Structure 1
Amino acid sequence: MGANSPDLGNLALSKVVEVGIASQLDVVEEIDVDLRTDPGNLIQGKVNSIEISGKGLVVKQDLRMETIQINTDSVSIDPLRALLGSIELTQPTDAEARIVLTEIDINRALNSDYIRTKFHGLQMEMDGQPVTIDIQSANLDLPGENKFVIASTFSMRESNETKNFTATAAPEIHEDGNRISLEILAAEGQGLTLKLVTVIFEQLTNLLDLRNFDIPGMTLKLHKLEAQAGKLVIHAHSQIEKLPTM
């Protein structure tokens, strides 16, 4: 393969983007960028497509993405910068993204110190009396059929009692396209109140806000959600204004 091989050029530019993306993330297990073009198009500032795939990425809120896949259409870039080994978009480009979150990783984030601080000292009423609630644990089960099941243990400070409840909800796409909302289908347990269930579900939907998965220069808008057995699959439209580079 010659020194001027277009494959080597594509590989070099792909590596620049890989390193740039990795530098913006808290944790990266694997990241791969496949930039496809040819010398003629590159001179004109055109890239046929870019495919970004990653595994074990953490952007915010300690929430790990099992996998992420982003595929662009054609991309317009600054040809001079490309010849110098850098990528600069001359106009935003659209892409499609697919993110997979596992039940295990969602629960790890849901029980992180950051979220747990929001579960303590909750003021509400039970049986007409004001009480202070500390949620000890919240566990998400993804049984499939587009359902979320939350099992939680909580304590009441005034009586020092510990109680449990379980709630089932169906996820829906929120109108802003950034996050999901949850329709409560059923709930049962001791000392159960709508506010208690709502508090946990609010933190879960905040955790799954797509803005937590934005890589600098890339924004996501949710258009399809699949709650499958053991995992949550997010399909989103992405607009890329800038590709991270070192």
Structure 2
Amino acid sequence: MPEEHRLDEQIVSQVAQSRLSEELDGAEKIDVDVQTDLLKMFQGQADGVSVAGRGLVMRGIRVQDIKLQTDSVAINPLSVLFGQIELNQPVNTSARVVLTEVDINHALTSEFVRSKMPNFELNVDGEIVGLQPQEIQIHLIDGGKMAFTGKVLLTEKGKARTVGFTAQVCPRTEHKPIMLESFNCTQGEGISLEVVVALMQKVKELVNLPYFEFDDVVLRVKKMEVQKSSMTLLVDARVTQIPATEGNF
């Protein structure tokens, strides 16, 4: 009966919402809707899961708004009894995520994000030149563009020095990749043209990747919509496993 089916969904959704809230460092609002029934639940199945949240915080990263929908989910029902959720099959997810400029810049200083920042090794005329990000700030400006300011540690011919820079880019759309409009050095002795060319080639390779992989999650950014002080991302993700959390038995 529809009423009973909806009651099943409400019970499971409340449990899932409570569980997700425990994983977060904070949340202004969160709603979880699990599309399932008791029989499917005991079989470790759900037709899908939707999440809508505002002000979610995890690992020092704050999301202003998020709307997420998965396809069918298959989990090991026994794993739930031991405080851990194990996926029997990967889960495909689509999401709309809104980030503010303030929250992005705060995230860029977090230990988690800094640990994920790549250190570039550039081949410049047969010699390896290293670039390590030191400080980065993003500015979401009028005209749907992004500007960056920051410092990198440049290691060239065994010597390291700090170089400040500014850059401006046009974000990814459904039809165009990220486009670099300008790049300028603001501190230090600057960067040689050969290093700039090698860096631009490396950046081009990265932004043209079909997806990005972080631990057990594969992400693909379909579209970036930039407004002054905020950015909206349309993202597809494939989750192969849900990380174990502290306190699990």
Query: Do both share a fold (TM > 0.5)?
Result: yes
Whichever residue aligns with residue 63 of structure 1, its letter is: I
Q: Where do 5+ consecutive residues of structure 1 fail to align?
A: 119-134, 155-161, 174-180
Whichever residue aligns with residue 226 of structure 2, its letter is: A
**Does residue 187 of the first structure (1) align with residue 183 of the second (2)?**
yes
Whichever residue aligns with residue 34 of structure 1, its letter is: D
CA deviation after TM superposition for structure 1 residue 141, in Å: 1.0
CA deviation after TM superposition for structure 1 residue 105, in Å: 0.8
Distance 1:233 1:24 in 2: 24
Q: TM-score, normalised by structure 1?
A: 0.57
Mapping of 1:23-172 within 5 angstroms?
Answer: 23-25=22-24, 27-29=25-27, 30-38=29-37, 47-60=46-59, 62-73=60-71, 75=72, 77=74, 90-112=88-110, 138-152=136-150, 165-172=165-172
SS of 1:54's equivalent in the other structure is: strand
SS of 1:28's equivalent in the other structure is: coil
Shift in CA distance, 172/17, structure 1 to aligned 2, threshold 3 Å? same
8 Å CA contact retained: 2:14, 2:32: yes
Q: CA RMSD in A?
A: 5.3
Higher relative contact order (CA 8 A, sep 6+): 1
Q: Which deviates further from its counterpart, 94-103 or 143-152?
A: 143-152
SS of 1:16's equivalent in the other structure is: helix
8 Å CA contact retained: 1:28, 1:55: no
Measured against aligned partners, the alpha-carbon deviations of 1:146-203 in whole angstroms (never above 9, x if no partner) come to: 422123479xxxxxxx997532123449xxxxxxx9643113464543769x6xx98x
Q: Where do 5+ consecutive residues of structure 2 fail to align?
A: 117-132, 153-161
CA deviation after TM superposition for structure 1 residue 11, in Å: 1.8
Distance 1:221 1:117 in 2: 20
Distance 2:184 2:85 in 1: 54
CA deviation after TM superposition for structure 1 residue 45, in Å: 6.7
Distance 1:79 1:150 in 2: 44
Measured against aligned partners, the alpha-carbon deviations of 1:84-111 in whole angstroms (never above 9, x if no partner) come to: 9x98765434221122221111112234
Distance 2:107 2:57 in 1: 11
Distance 1:44 1:164 in 2: 56
Q: Percent identity?
A: 28
Measured against aligned partners, the alpha-carbon deviations of 1:56-76 in whole angstroms (never above 9, x if no partner) come to: 33444x332222221123x25
SS of 2:235's equivalent in the other structure is: strand
Q: TM-score, normalised by structure 2?
A: 0.57
8 Å CA contact retained: 2:26, 2:58: no
Distance 1:244 1:153 in 2: 33
